[in-house]
Copies of this chain bind each other. A is one copy, B any other.
Amino acid sequence: MAKEFQSSPVGHEISAVFHGVGKKFLIDGKHIKKVLLDGLNIDKFGIISIASHDFKPKGHSTAVLLSESHTSIHTYPEHDSLTFHIYSCRRPGDGKKTFEHLKKTLNPEFIDFKERNVIVSRNHL
């Protein structure tokens, strides 16, 4: 996908907490990062750059700058949970395929799911 991208006047944001994720996933930063990147590829996002960090003694963060904005994931092995956020200026309702890939792969017990359209053009207010 091309790195340059014409933004939509209305983007979309998903913010979710996955509760009850298996410890084996939460302590494996390399795997979590791969699951996120696989989701982004399935969703045809353009990846510009990736920043990752493994915390000590545990926990992993990855933030990805996208042609279409950004996404991130943070794991909390001490709480059996992770947070996922994606904001895309590609179109309203965007990012669902990435979210669904994470949900299917990481199989949480339940999810606190929030989403909203983000209006960036005053003509659409």
Interface residues of A (CB under 8 A from B): 3-5, 7, 9, 11, 13, 15, 17, 19-20, 48-53, 55-56, 59, 61-65, 69-70, 72, 74, 76, 78-81, 83, 85, 87, 89, 112, 114, 116, 118-122, 125
Contacts and interface: CB of A to CB of B under 8 A. Distances in A.
A64 B83 CA distance: 16
A61 B53 contact: no
Contacts of A116: 15, 114
A15 B122 contact: no
Contacts of A62: 65
Given A15-B13, A122-B19, A63 B83 contact: no
